[in-house]
Amino acid sequence: MTAGAPVDEGRTSRLPIRVALPYHLRTLARVEGDVELEVSPPVTLGAVLDALESRYPTLRGTIREYGSGQRRPFLRFFACEEDLSHQSLEVELPGKVVNGEEPLLIIGAIAGG
């Protein structure tokens, strides 16, 4: 099952995967703008999160709960105008994300008053 265009596994060069983090996670990771990650195919949501946490260990536990590995309740995943929050981590990301044209958006829910 895929959520976007099939990935060309035969490509020898690819743009990095872009991830847009919410403000507080950018501050924690000490980055500005989108994060760029190299992720080997298949580029699934889980693989991108693994790569993100590997490159920025400070973010471990802030997006996915320790233990359960579940997305934190007040965070959502979006890409290419699709809500990926409730999809399996094993689902491949949309082609434009895989090709680096569009970012994976990690968004903090607007909650509170």
Q: Which is nearer to another protein, 11 or 74 (CB)?
A: 74
Q: Which residues pair with 17 in a beta bridge?
A: 37
Beta strands in 1-113 (DSSP E): 17-20, 35-37, 75-79, 82-83, 104-108
Complex with another protein: residue 18 or 71, whichever CB lies closer: 71
The CA distance from 97 to 80, in Å, is: 8
Of 31 and 91, which has the nearer Cβ to another protein?
A: 31
Residue with tokens 């994976």: 104
> To the nearest whole angstrom, how small is the minimum distance from the Cβ of residue 66 to another protein?
5
- Between CA 113 and CA 107 the distance in angstroms is 18
Q: How far is the CB of 21 from another protein (least distance, A)?
A: 10
> Smallest gap, in angstroms, from Cβ of residue 18 to another protein?
20
Kindly list the residues in this chain that would bind another protein in the complex (CB under 8 A).
Answer: 22-25, 28, 58, 60-63, 65-67, 72, 74-75, 108-109, 111
